[in-house]
Amino acid sequence: MILMQPIPLPSTFVHRHLLGIEGLSPEEIAILLELAESYVALNREAQKKRDVLRGRTLILLFFETSTRTRTSFELAGKRLGADVINISVATSAIKKGETLIDTAMTLNAMRPDVLVVRHPDAGAVTLLSNHVNCAVINAGDGSHEHPTQAFVDALTIRRRRGDLRGLSVAICGDVMHSRVARSNIHLLNAMGARVRLVAPPTLLPTAIERMGVEIFHDMRAGLEDCDIIMMLRLQSERMQGTYVPSTREYFHFFGLDKEKLSVAKPDALIMHPGPMNRGVEIDSAVADDITRSVILDQVELGLAVRQACLDILGRNAPALPSAY
C-alpha cells in the first residue's frame, strides 16, 4: 500500500479539543479550511490513504442519530490510518443507567486519542471533555454547536465564491433548535460575512440579534439579493409543544421554492446540512437543481473537513501520563 506523506501541520492551531466555533479566531478557522482543502484534492485521487494517525485510536460516541456526520468521521479516521471504534448507545451500558461521566471515564481508561461525541444536551460534550485526557470533538450538542458542520458550509461557500467576506447569507427556518445555525453565525461573522436569519418569531430564540445578525419574518424580504441560502430542518425531536400551525402552512410561508428563490441573487447557492424534509422546508425542484443546489457538495466536503479536524487534533493528542 502506498501511504502518502503527511501534510505539514500548522503550528498556530493550538486547541486540545474542538468544542465549538465560538472562541476560534479567523486565522484558526482559515488554517482548518486550508488543511481541509488539501484533503478534498486527496479524496479525489485513486490512492486516498495517509498514515498520519497510524497507531492512534478514534472512538465515535453518538447519543443521537446521524448519517452524514458519523459516516464521514468514521471514513475520515480510516483514511488517516487510525483504529476506529463505533459505540452503539443502544447496545452499550448507557442503556443500563451509566452516567455520561462514567461512560467517558470508562472509555478514557482504554486510552483513545480522539473521542467524537454527539449528545442531545447542550454543554454535554464540554462537560465530558473535562473528564478525559484525549482530544474531544463536538459532533453536535443539543441546539448549542455543531462546529464541523460550520466548517463544511464555509468550505463549500469558499470553493464556489472564493471568499466569505461581504457575502449575504440567509439562514432560514428552525433557528431556535439549530446547532448548525449557531455555529454558522459564529463562523460567518468571524470571517466577515453578513448573516440574516429568516424565520417565524416562534422559531427564533429571544435576543438572537445580539449575535450580530439581521432578523426577517418574511421569506421574500429575507432572501432579497442574498448570495447564499441555508435551509434548516424543523427539528421536532427538540420541540416541546407546537411551534408552527401545520407543516403545510409552514411550507407555504417559509419553504424554499422557485418563486421565493427568484428574489435572491440569480446565482445564489442553496445549502442544507441534511437530513432534508422535502415539502416542509424545501421543495424538491430547488433541492435537486444542480445549477444552484450545493447540498451534495456539502456531503463530499464533510469528509475532508473531518479529516482535517482529526489530523490537527489527533496528531497533537498527548499520550496519557503513565501513572494514570
Closest CA to 52 of 112, 7, 115, 113: 7
Write the CB contacts of 13 (distance below 8 Å, at least 6 apart in sequence). Answer: 28, 31, 32, 312
140 scored as a contact of ligand ASP (CB under 6 A):
yes
To the nearest whole angstrom, how small is the minimum distance from the Cβ of residue 115 to ligand ASP? 17
The single-letter code of the amino acid at 305 is V
Instruction: State how far the Cα of 282 lies from the Cα of 148, in Å rounded to an integer.
Output: 23
92 scored as a contact of ligand ASP (CB under 6 A):
no
CB 28 within 8 A of CB 18: no
Please give the residues from 167 up to 196 whose contact with ligand ASP meets the rule CB under 6 A.
Answer: 179-180
To the nearest whole angstrom, how small is the minimum distance from the Cβ of residue 324 to ligand ASP? 33
CB 137 within 8 A of CB 20: no
Q: How many residues bind ligand ASP (CB under 6 A)?
A: 8
Q: Please, which residues bridge with residue 240 across strands?
A: none
Applying CB under 6 A, among 233, 260, 292, 306 the residue interacting with ligand ASP is 233
* Maximal CA-CA distance, the chain: 65
Instruction: State how far the Cα of 174 lies from the Cα of 57, in Å rounded to an integer.
Output: 36
To the nearest whole angstrom, how small is the minimum distance from the Cβ of residue 96 to ligand ASP? 26
Nearer to ligand ASP by Cβ, of 113 and 145: the residue is 145
Closest CA to 271 of 232, 218, 216: 232
144 scored as a contact of ligand ASP (CB under 6 A):
no
Closest CA to 252 of 226, 219, 205, 289: 219
247 scored as a contact of ligand ASP (CB under 6 A):
no
Nearer to ligand ASP by Cβ, of 263 and 299: the residue is 299
Distances (CA, A) of 173 to 231, 277, 279, 293: 6, 12, 13, 17
235 scored as a contact of ligand ASP (CB under 6 A):
yes
Nearer to ligand ASP by Cβ, of 180 and 271: the residue is 180
Nearer to ligand ASP by Cβ, of 70 and 194: the residue is 70
To the nearest whole angstrom, how small is the minimum distance from the Cβ of residue 282 to ligand ASP? 12
Applying CB under 6 A, among 146, 182, 194, 292 the residue interacting with ligand ASP is 146
CB 56 within 8 A of CB 317: yes
Instruction: State how far the Cα of 308 lies from the Cα of 29, in Å rounded to an integer.
Output: 11
To the nearest whole angstrom, how small is the minimum distance from the Cβ of residue 11 to ligand ASP? 32
Instruction: State how far the Cα of 187 lies from the Cα of 228, in Å rounded to an integer.
Output: 14
Closest CA to 119 of 128, 106, 111, 110: 128
Applying CB under 6 A, among 81, 200, 222, 273 the residue interacting with ligand ASP is 273
Task: Tell me which residue has its CB nearest to ligand ASP.
Answer: 233
Residues at the interface with ligand ASP (CB under 6 A): 140, 146, 179-180, 233, 235, 273-274
